[in-house]
Chain A
């Protein structure tokens, strides 16, 4: 069986906030099937999936977590001596005079 646990279950809080959404029937069916496939009730499945997505988005704004090989390539790229990028230099020149500190 595929594993998926309610990550919010361990929170020492009661479920006191009510959230209601209307969903399209096909979406509701898909959620129901997936929750059933892993033996989870729909409510917990929706809450946990939404919570995990929320955390993923918040994390992604403040950090990029990557594999060591990609990190090494990134570190090497940012440590390399600066090279003039013709496209950037040209756009910067073309933008002069349109925007100023104010």
Chain B
């Protein structure tokens, strides 16, 4: 999804459990490290998620960042008999399940570059298979200040909370807005 510039520091590749050695990866948050090191092999093998990793040019076996995507639906919980005939019962989306950068590569813009790549990839998925939005959950590690920072970061990119009134941390970006912004 990233444009070839032939001089980029990092390359984006589809995760391959044989090629990509995750042993040294540490983003500083245990559950995400565990997810990356222990969960994704089975989930990708079963085609439940797709994972993309950023490797340094010339060092293609060590991932310095990654993100995961999976197919998702936004569904109205209205009973079918009450649903108006004109209403679509659900809308397809792409779910950005996790995104993280190794501590040694943080504060260099790689996280943002990965997120932009994930958004561009979601636009391509929409063009090929149809989807209306990108969905994510803002990571809440219990630190309110960091949570607020993360939320502001996503809001600046056009993400909105699906439910502003609840404690739900789920946000979305419409594919149409993504397309208009990345032209």
Contacts and interface: CB of A to CB of B under 8 A. Distances in A.
Looking at chain B's contact residues, the main secondary structure is mixed
Interface stretch (A12-20, A40-48, A77-85): A77-85
Contacts of B73: 62-64
Interface of B: 1-13, 54-55, 57, 60, 70-78, 83, 87-88, 90-91, 93, 95, 97, 108-110, 112-117, 119, 132-133, 135, 137, 156-158, 160, 162-163, 170, 172-183
A74 B162 contact: yes
Interface string A67-78: 110111011011
Given A67-B77, A88-B157, A82 B179 contact: yes
A20 to B, nearest CB: 20
14 contacts: A74-B91, A78-B133, A78-B174, A82-B179, A82-B180, A85-B157, A85-B180, A87-B158, A88-B116, A88-B157, A89-B182, A96-B3, A98-B10, A99-B9
Contacts of B88: 75
Contact of A80 (B117, B170, B174, B179): B174
